[in-house]
Amino acid sequence: MSVARSKVLLCKAKAQGESAEGEKSYATVLESAGFSCTQLSVLRFEFSNLEELRVLLVQNLHSGLILTSPRSAEAVKLSLEQGEAGSESIFSNIWKNLPIYCVGAATEQVARNILGLQSCCGSETGNAEELAKFIINEMQSARNNAEVRPLLYPCSAIARDTITTTLEAARIPLQKLTVYKTLPSKTLETDLSDIFGHSLPEYLVFFSPSAVRYVTNVIKRNRQEKSMEEIKFVAIGPVTEQALVDAGLKVSATSRQPDPVALSNALRNMLVTS
């Protein structure tokens, strides 16, 4: 099967509240750098514990909110919409001046757009490990007080323990709540077959370990491993990079930040050094 040179397939999910510009930002930046770009919707999400989340959100019990993905912000929005009238107003009054710690620009954008939260910070850190360090630094003075309220951390059912263990080691209290689980798109196999049926992309970019798992499962099920030898695998962040390694795939490049410019730079640096 032929390989379409400079073609990039983005394996990412669209987030509620993501602007049209945000959705197209990767394609816009990559195409300006000489790549062609296609997006594959790999994932779907099921939300849970939304009533419990809403109860926590409308009580003044926490010192900040941790959002490690756009889905976490979506869960907050859904929980408020499903609650009693006035829940969103109460939420806004409580959280408008509290820090909202976000992993990546996409998460911050969704938090601002669908939740109206303007006190977002930490998005430049790019991954959970660096965000945890950022939070510790930001809360240094608060930790010296006699009483520190916990941070609220709504997250995925498969969230790694990075945030939890790092903050607990620093004696920063945290309340963690699972609010969604990640599943493969119902049309993933068909969509992937359609894309590969025309020509293989030169670059396959993964945004999460879940995307790696579901796409590689389809590839193995359809016995397309031989074709995959022609593709360059690219990861967004170190956790996704490790997922590719664990799947037995060679990582050609890793974008250390989850944003279009960082990905474009990673691809161009790979071309320079190859």
| Mean predicted lDDT score pLDDT of the chain | 90
For the stretch 188-214, pLDDT in tens is 999 998 888 878 899 999 999 999 999
Residues 24 and 123 grouped into a single domain:
no
DSSP 3-state percent helix, strand, coil across the chain (nearest 5): 50, 25, 30
pLDDT band at 186 (very low <50, low <70, confident <90, very high): very high
Pairing of strands 174-184, 151-156: parallel
Question: What pLDDT shows up at residue 206?
Answer: 96
Q: Where a domain ends, among 122, 153, 182?
A: 182
Residues 31 and 98 grouped into a single domain:
no
Q: Where a domain ends, among 182, 217, 234?
A: 182
Buried b (16+ CB within 10 A) or exposed e, 86-125: ebbebbeeebeebbbbbbbbbbbbbbbbbbebeebbbbeb
Asked whether the predicted pLDDT for residue 9 surpasses 70, the reply is yes
pLDDT band at 147 (very low <50, low <70, confident <90, very high): low
For the stretch 243-257, pLDDT in tens is 999 999 999 999 988
Residues 147 and 207 grouped into a single domain:
no
Residues 50 and 120 grouped into a single domain:
yes
Residue in 40, 44, 13, 24 with CA at minimum distance from that of residue 195: 40
Do residues 110 and 71 touch, judged by C-beta distance below 8 A? no
For the stretch 102-144, pLDDT in tens is 998 889 999 999 999 999 999 998 889 999 999 999 987 665 5
Residues 224 and 154 grouped into a single domain:
no
Residues 105 and 227 grouped into a single domain:
no
If one counts the domains in the chain, the total is 2
* 37-54: average pLDDT: 95
Residues 155 and 257 grouped into a single domain:
no
Among left, alpha and beta (phi > 0; psi -120 to 50; other), residue 257 is beta
Residues 201 and 233 grouped into a single domain:
yes
How many other C-beta atoms lie within 10 A of the C-beta of residue 75?
A: 26
* 166-183: average pLDDT: 95
What's the domain range around 96?
Answer: 46-182
Query: At 218, which CATH number?
Result: 3.40.50.10090
Residues 167 and 88 grouped into a single domain:
yes
Q: Where a domain ends, among 135, 157, 182?
A: 182
Question: What pLDDT shows up at residue 121?
Answer: 96
* 9-34: average pLDDT: 78
Question: What pLDDT shows up at residue 146?
Answer: 47
Do residues 41 and 185 touch, judged by C-beta distance below 8 A? yes
Higher per-residue pLDDT: 245 or 271: 245
